[in-house]
Amino acid sequence: MTQVQWFPGHMAKAIRLIEETLPTVDFVIECRDARAPFSTRNPVLARAAGDKKVMVILTKKDLADPERVLKWEKILKDEGAEVIAVDVFNDPIKRLVLEKTEILMKERHARDERRGIRSRASRALIVGVPNVGKSTIINQLGSRKAARVENRPGVTQAIKLIKVGPKLEIVDTPGVLWPRFENEEMGIKCALVGSIKETGFPLELITNYALNKLKVTHHDYFETLYGKLDFENFFESLAIAKGYLQSGGYPDIEQARRTFLHDVQNGAMGPMSWD
């Protein structure tokens, strides 16, 4: 099995920051792409989090196959996580997160009440791979007025502490948090949902993978979006149909591949799931 690393030096820095921050939080919010909940997970987090409770937010559910989303919600719940599947632009994220926070922190609040202690605001560390929608979620949870910089010994970069309300604070780590891919296919799936630039893997490899899957599962979308094209020479046919020509009149197949990848990443071919 091939293991693929993506900026391992940067990843190591992010891991250290997580390990230093985890003891200061009550639970972890992990954002994953609903189209690839397994491939966009962070295996490092599972090891580092220990017995911390976890809330998984499956983002971009509007771009995913609804049946697959339901399947993954059940899988993750069975693993012990609280799960929310959201459209990051249209769902009431703040309310949903606060409701799940109440569930996660119910035992602690009951314990504090028995001891006559006034419960403090819960604190969560939020993590997620690039372009998963984490920033959009944070913007909906907090406000600029509530965000501040907290400097702690041993942390070279500041972390942002966002006050969601009287009952919850969110710690956002800077930089890119990135897993080591267990195999090449996981990396391809991350590229297909836009979590890494396609430069991490050959564009030809990524688009051929998508074409081979989607011409079976999304056959009708191809004709609607591109017209009748020859699947045997799909990218050459697409380049000609789109007028993507190089000097000399040759089809610009790379540009055709980029157009196809963009359509896949942005939902132009309808809801789809990779995991």
pLDDT in tens, 2-18: 555 555 555 666 677 77
Under the phi-then-psi rule, with left for phi > 0, alpha for psi from -120 to 50, and beta for the rest, what region is 179?
Answer: beta
In angstroms, the CA 191 to CA 58 distance is 17
- Residue keyed to tokens 């949870």: 141
First to last CA, the chain: 18
Please report the pLDDT score of residue 236 as a whole number.
Answer: 94
In angstroms, the CA 271 to CA 62 distance is 7
Kindly tell me the burial class for residue 46, based on how many C-beta atoms sit within 10 Å of its own C-beta (0-12, 13-18, 19 or more). Answer: middle
> Could you give the angle at the alpha carbon of 93 between the alpha carbons of 193 and 262, nearest 5°?
20
Residue 237: half-sphere exposure toward Cβ, Cα within 13 Å: 11
C-alpha closest to that of 174 among 207, 149, 210: 149
C-alpha closest to that of 57 among 128, 114, 149: 128
Please report the pLDDT score of residue 161 as a whole number.
Answer: 82
Please report the pLDDT score of residue 148 as a whole number.
Answer: 40
Could you tell me the pTM of the whole model?
0.84
C-alpha closest to that of 203 among 153, 253, 165, 169: 253
C-beta separation of 85 from 34 below 8 A:
yes
Please report the pLDDT score of residue 166 as a whole number.
Answer: 86
Please report the pLDDT score of residue 46 as a whole number.
Answer: 67
Please report the pLDDT score of residue 156 as a whole number.
Answer: 33
Please report the pLDDT score of residue 5 as a whole number.
Answer: 52
- pLDDT below 50 — which residues of the chain? 1, 145-157, 175, 177
Give the chain's domains with CATH numbers.
Answer: 8-172 (3.40.50.300), 202-265 (no CATH)
C-beta separation of 210 from 273 below 8 A:
no
At 157, which amino acid appears?
Q
Under the phi-then-psi rule, with left for phi > 0, alpha for psi from -120 to 50, and beta for the rest, what region is 125?
Answer: beta
Under the phi-then-psi rule, with left for phi > 0, alpha for psi from -120 to 50, and beta for the rest, what region is 252?
Answer: beta
Please report the pLDDT score of residue 243 as a whole number.
Answer: 93
C-beta separation of 272 from 63 below 8 A:
yes
- pLDDT digit string, tens, across residues 85-115: 999 889 999 999 999 999 998 887 778 777 8
